[in-house]
């Protein structure tokens, strides 16, 4: 097993360096006007995939190979003036100031008049250009994922991992995507709140009995064997944490279905497809600056059911009609049964960001947050008690180190026995030197420490 991991990392090359060849650069991004933190800022080396994103406190840590030279560090966020900074002149932990890049109403009107296209036409061109803008060829990438399950005020579960992604290129079949978990850490589990749901799901798949019978048995899960409960949680993690594709693990489902909202435009069941694009309404919200280009921020909505609607934004580059960011939410009406009992207006929210590297755009950040049922919710439904503890899962992914060399990509992909996307497998590896990850905010760090303390209490 470790041999396969080593081979995979060797071919991808990001772990072939020794530890002393990696360095870090840390900093904080602040508003130039009032020196408040700016979150969600892209920080990366020019013309590379090596980068990270600032946290809620504006802070970031960037790993890089010190044996290579990097000329410029790019600091960018849609709606702000992009900075191109000489890397050798930057100082560790010094503040970097961003200014909002405003466009006057006259400029927006002139821009729209020049284009003479409606929002729907802009979106249609963007999707038609996907095959030109997203890489048609296979590539490899290093990924970091932080998976949390939490209530409003506390973590119930935390897992972080480094993985390898094999992406077959634009419009390939979802099952052709491959992922391998390489390292994991911070696996802290304190999810008794969800045990009834876990066990009910597991029993349904195991014995084919009705939901009601299995649910009644699961209510008394304290009487079951601990080993059975562990099996139930593992089963639920791999098959039901996200989406409905039971043949995929969580990581693969995120890339193949839930989070990848735009890549399968040519397929019938895609979120945005040739056939269902007319079901959406589109409107230009505004025009913004992004990395020295104009970007259309286009609002969309789609009525899914009487009490459910999909809404969000597409950010489309004016120059090449590339989709550079997607924000997508499922919104529930007041009468929706789930909202009545959970109090959750948003069922799920996903974000995906792309960055242009050489000739094509590659995903560099993904986020998927989904409200979940749990013991207290099931109990409240049974007792018709609408006071409910909100509970949701959240996956954040940072991608870097794009490898496009055909010989390396093919040789790695052919080693099929190394691919294992089970995020929840046991294992705690500490070899994270040189791997870029999403820096926790101070609040997230507190939630993690609280989770550790609570977990230790229950072990005593």
Rounded distance between C-alpha atoms, residue 23 and residue 51, angstroms: 13
Q: Are strands 95-98 and 22-31 parallel, antiparallel or unpaired?
A: parallel
Which domains are present in the chain? 2-98 (2.60.40.1120), 130-459 (no CATH)
Question: pTM for the complete prediction?
Answer: 0.84
Rounded distance between C-alpha atoms, residue 379 and residue 117, angstroms: 52
User: At 376, which helix (H) or strand (E)?
Assistant: helix 375-383
Q: Is 274 exposed, middle or buried (0-12, 13-18, 19+ CB in 10 A)?
A: middle
Place of tokens 């989070």: 259
Nearest to 78 by CA among 315, 321, 322: 315
Point out which residues pair with 73 in neighbouring strands: 45, 85
Alpha carbon 125 to its chain's center: 26
Per-residue pLDDT tens digits of the chain, which is 460 residues long: 334 343 444 344 334 433 447 889 999 999 999 999 999 999 999 989 899 999 999 999 999 988 889 999 999 999 899 999 999 999 999 999 999 886 644 444 444 445 458 899 999 999 999 989 999 899 999 999 999 988 778 888 888 888 899 999 887 787 888 888 888 876 777 766 566 767 787 888 788 788 788 888 888 877 877 777 777 776 766 665 554 455 667 788 888 776 777 877 777 777 888 888 889 999 999 888 877 788 999 999 999 888 899 999 999 999 999 999 999 999 988 887 677 666 678 888 999 999 999 899 999 999 999 887 554 444 544 444 444 456 788 999 999 889 999 999 988 888 766 687 777 766 555 556 667 889 999 999 998 898 888 877 766 6
Strands (E), 306-357: 308-317, 323-332, 346-357
Name the packing angle between helices 195-207 and 375-383 (round to 10°).
Answer: 90
Give how far Cα 385 sits from Cα of 173, 191, 196, 307, Å: 44, 22, 18, 21
- The answer to whether the beta carbons of residues 83 and 72 sit under 8 Å apart is no
């Amino acid at each position: 097993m470790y041999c396969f991991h080593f081979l995979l990392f060797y071919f991808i090359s990001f772990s072939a360096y020794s530890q002393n060849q990696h360095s870090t650069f840390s900093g904080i991004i602040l508003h130039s006007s009032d020196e408040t933190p700016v979150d969600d800022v892209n920080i990366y080396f020019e013309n590379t995939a090596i980068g990270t994103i600032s946290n809620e406190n504006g802070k970031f840590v960037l790993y890089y190979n010190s044996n290579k030279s990097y000329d410029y560090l790019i600091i960018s966020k849609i709606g702000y003036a992009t900075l191109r900074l000489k890397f050798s002149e930057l100082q560790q932990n010094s503040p970097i100031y961003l200014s909002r890049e405003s466009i006057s109403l006259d400029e927006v009107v002139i821009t729209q008049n020049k284009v003479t296209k409606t929002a729907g036409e802009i979106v249609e061109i963007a999707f038609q250009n996907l095959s030109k803008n997203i890489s048609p060829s296979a590539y490899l990438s290093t990924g970091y994922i932080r998976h949390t399950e939490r209530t409003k005020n506390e973590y119930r579960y935390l897992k972080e991992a480094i993985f390898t992604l094999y992406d077959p290129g634009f419009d390939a079949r979802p099952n052709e995507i491959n992922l391998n978990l390489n390292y994991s850490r911070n696996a802290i589990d304190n999810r008794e709140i969800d045990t009834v749901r876990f066990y009910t799901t597991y029993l349904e798949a195991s014995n084919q009995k009705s939901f009601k019978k299995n649910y009644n048995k699961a209510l008394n899960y304290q009487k079951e064997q601990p080993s059975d409960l562990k099996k139930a949680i593992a089963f639920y993690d791999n098959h039901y944490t996200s989406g409905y594709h039971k043949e995929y693990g969580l990581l693969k489902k995120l890339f193949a279905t839930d989070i990848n909202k735009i890549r399968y435009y040519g397929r019938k069941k895609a979120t945005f497809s040739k056939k269902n694009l007319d079901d959406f309404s589109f409107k230009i919200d505004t025009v913004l600056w992004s990395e020295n280009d104009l970007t259309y921020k286009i609002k969309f909505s789609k009525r899914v059911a009487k009490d459910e609607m999909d809404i969000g934004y597409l950010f489309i580059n004016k120059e090449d009609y590339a989709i550079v960011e997607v924000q997508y939410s499922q919104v529930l009406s007041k009468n929706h049964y789930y909202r009545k009992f959970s109090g959750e207006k948003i069922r799920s929210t996903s974000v995906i960001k792309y960055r242009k590297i050489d000739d094509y755009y590659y995903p560099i950040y993904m986020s998927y947050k989904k409200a979940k049922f749990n013991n207290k919710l099931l109990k409240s439904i049974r007792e018709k008690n609408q006071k409910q503890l909100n509970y949701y899962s959240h996956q954040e992914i940072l991608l870097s180190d794009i490898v496009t060399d055909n010989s390396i990509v093919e040789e790695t992909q052919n080693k099929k026995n190394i691919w294992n996307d089970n995020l929840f497998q046991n294992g705690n590896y500490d070899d994270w030197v040189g791997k870029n990850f999403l820096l926790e905010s101070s609040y997230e760090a507190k939630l993690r420490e609280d989770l550790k303390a609570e977990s230790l209490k229950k072990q005593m």
